[in-house]
Structure 1
Amino acid sequence: MIEENARGSGAELLDVHRLRLVETAAPRLTPGERLAMDRVWDRLVGANPHFFDGPVLVCAGAEREGPYGLTVSWVRTTYRHFALRRVPGATSWLPSFFVSVLQPADDGRLLVGRMSNSTAAPGRWQLPGGSLEPPDGDEPLDMGSLHRHAARELSEETGIDTPPDDLTFWNVTRAGNGSIGVLFRAPALPEALLRERHAAMAAAERAEDREPELDRIALIRSAAQLPDLAGPHADYLEPIVRRYAEGDGGTAVPGVPGVSI
C-alpha cells in the first residue's frame, strides 16, 4: 500500500505497466476543518486572484496489483480542497492526481518549464502537466481521458499541439507528499519548433492580459543539470529525468550542450 498522505518522504517512479482507476467517496470534513479550509482559501485568493475553485480530482489511495499493476482511487472535489494542506492537524487532506508529459527535443534533451507567478507554485521547474479534472457527464475516467487531458495540458502550457493518440504512456510517479502523477511521452520535435511554439503561446496569453502557466522553458539532458535551473524543482522531477536519461533518452548527440534555457 502506498501511503497517500506521506509528507516529506522522497519521490519515486513506480514502474507501472497497468493502471486501474476507481472512483470513491470524498472524506467528510469536520466543521472545524471546513472553516479552517475556507479561511486559508480566502487568504490564498486574496494574495493571488488567479486562483479559482473549479472542479478537480484528488488521490484517495494507490495500491499495487502484482509487480507492475497499480489501482488509483480518486475523488471529485474542487481546488479549495488543496487549502487543507496548510491546515495543521487536518486529517481529511488528500494529495493531487495529475498528468505530466515528457516532451523530448530531437537531440534527446527533455523540455522542462518554470511555473509563473500566477500559479500555485511560482518559480518551480517541472514537466508540462497539471491536475486532472472530472470527466464530463457519464464519461469514465480511463486511459483515453488521461491521454486527452495530457495533450490539452501540453498544448496550454507549451503551445505544442500533439494528438492524444500520439502520446505514449511512460510510467507513474509518486511525489513526496503522496500525489500520484501519470506520465506520458510525446514524439520528439526540433528545438527551434519547441521554442517557437512556447513563445507564440506566451505572447498570445500576455496579449489577453494573462500570464502563461510556464513563463520559461529549458532543455536538459540529465539530472546532473537540474541545479543549473535556478529556483525550486518539483520533487518528482529528478527521478523522472534520471530514468529518462539512463534508459529512455532518445537520440542523444555527443557534444551538444546540456542545459539550454
Structure 2
Amino acid sequence: MNRTAGRSGPEDVPGAARPPVEFLDARVPVFAERAAPVLSSWEEREVDRLWEETTARNPATFDGPLVAVLGLDRSGDGRLVVRWAPMTYRYRALRRLRPPEEVPGSVFVTVLLPTDVGLVVGRGSPATAAPGRWSLPGGAVEPPSAGEPLNAAELRRHAARELVEETGVRVAAEELRLWALTRGRRFGSLGFHFLCPPVSGALVRRLHADLSVTQTKAGTGPELDAIDFVPSPAAAGRLAATADYLPQLFDRYFAT
C-alpha cells in the first residue's frame, strides 16, 4: 500500500519519538474511488466473528458506511490524491488481523469550535464507537450518494452536520474553513479539521443540554454525554482519555 509522506518535521529526525499523527498539506486533496480491498475467506469469517463479539458487548453499535483510505499518491501539480473505497465499520476488525500498513484507514472530520472559555470537546457516550473518549465534535465520513463526488464541499457538509448532531450548534457549511489535515501514523486515517467561527460558551452548553434532552426522549441518547472547554494545551491534561490527534492539534492551534 503506497502511503506517501507529507511535509517532514522535527518528528522525522532519526531517534526522535514519532507522534500519533502527522500534518499534511492542508489543501483539500483529490479523491479517487477504487474497488474495496479483497479479503480472503478466512479474513471474511474473522471479520464477521469479531463484529459479532463487538455487537454482543455493545448492541447499539452500528455497521454504518464509511470512506476507507487505501493510500495516497501525488498528482502532476503536487496535490495529494486519496485512493478510497466504500466500506463499513465492521472492517475495522482488520486492524486485529493484518499488519498496520495493510489495513485501510478511514476519513473523518472534526470541528474546532472556539468560545470565550476555550475550544469545545466532547466525551463519547456509551452508545458510540469510542465511549468515554474526549475528542472534537465530528465523525467518520460516509460515502456520497451514488453518482455524487467526494470533494471539499461534501466534507464541509458532513462536518457541519456532525457539529449540529453532537452539540446542537448550527452553522452553514460554507462558514467552516479547512484548518488542518492529519494522517494517522499507524493506519493512515485522514482527519480533516475545520475551524468554525467563534460562539459563546454559555450558548454551547445550553444547546448541548437541550439536544441531550431531546435525544434521550427519542430513545437514542446523546452522542456526546458531556462537553468541556479547553483554553490551553495544559488544560487538556484533565481529560482522561482523548483521541490520538487531539494533543497535537491543541499544540498547533494554541501556538498559532
Q: TM range, normalised to the smaller chain?
A: 0.7 to 0.9
Q: Which runs of 5+ in 2 are unaligned?
A: 6-17
Structure 1 residue 18: Cα displacement: 4.0
Q: Please list, as runs of the form range in 1=range in 2, the aligned pairs for 1:108-127 lying within 5 A after superposition.
A: 109-127=118-136
Aligned positions of 1:222-237 closer than 5 A: 222-229=232-239, 231-237=240-246
- Alignment partner, residue 93 of structure 2: 83
CA distance in 2, matches of 1:91, 1:221: 36
Deviations 1:71-107 (A, max 9, x none): 22111111111122233668853112111111111x2
The aligned residue for residue 71 of structure 2 is 61
The structure 1 residue matched to 2:34, chosen from 24, 45, 50, is 24
Mapped to 1, the partners of 2:74 and 2:231 lie a distance apart of: 31
Moved more, 10-19 or 186-195: 10-19
Q: Distance in 2 between matches of 1:30 and 1:91?
A: 17
Aligned counterpart in structure 1 of residue 219 of structure 2, from 209, 218, 223: 209
1:125-166: per-residue Cα shift (whole Å, max 9, x none)? 111111111111211111111110111011111111111111
In structure 2, the CA distance between the partners of 1:224 and 1:24, relative to structure 1 (3 Å rule), is same
Decide which moves more: 141-150 or 88-97.
88-97
Q: Mark the CA change 1:91 to 1:2 in structure 2 (over 3 Å): closer, same or farther.
A: closer
* Residues 17-166 of structure 1 aligned to structure 2 (within 5 Å): 17-64=27-74, 69-87=79-97, 93-105=103-115, 107=116, 109-166=118-175
Q: Percent identity?
A: 41
Q: Equivalents in 2 of 1:199, 1:68: separation in Å?
A: 45
* Paired residues of 2:123 and 2:224 also in contact (CA < 8 A): yes
Q: For residue 46 of structure 2, give the secondary structure of its aligned residue in structure 1.
A: helix
Alignment partner, residue 241 of structure 1: 250
Q: Cα–Cα, structure 1 residues 29 and 92, in superposed 2: closer, same or farther, change >3 Å? A: farther
Aligned to 1:257: none
- CA deviations over 1:33-53 (Å, ceiling 9, x no partner): 010000000110111111122
Counting matched residue pairs gives 242
* Cα deviation digits, residues 183-206 of structure 1 (max 9, x gap): 111110011111111111111111
- Structure-1-length-normalised TM-score: 0.86
Does the residue aligned with 1:96 lie in a helix, a strand or coil? strand
RMSD, aligned α-carbons: 2.2
Stretches of structure 1 that go unaligned for 5 or more consecutive residues are 248-261
- Residues 4 and 73 of structure 2 are in contact (CA less than 8 Å); yes or no, is this contact kept in structure 1? no
Provide the TM-score with structure 2 as the length reference.
0.87
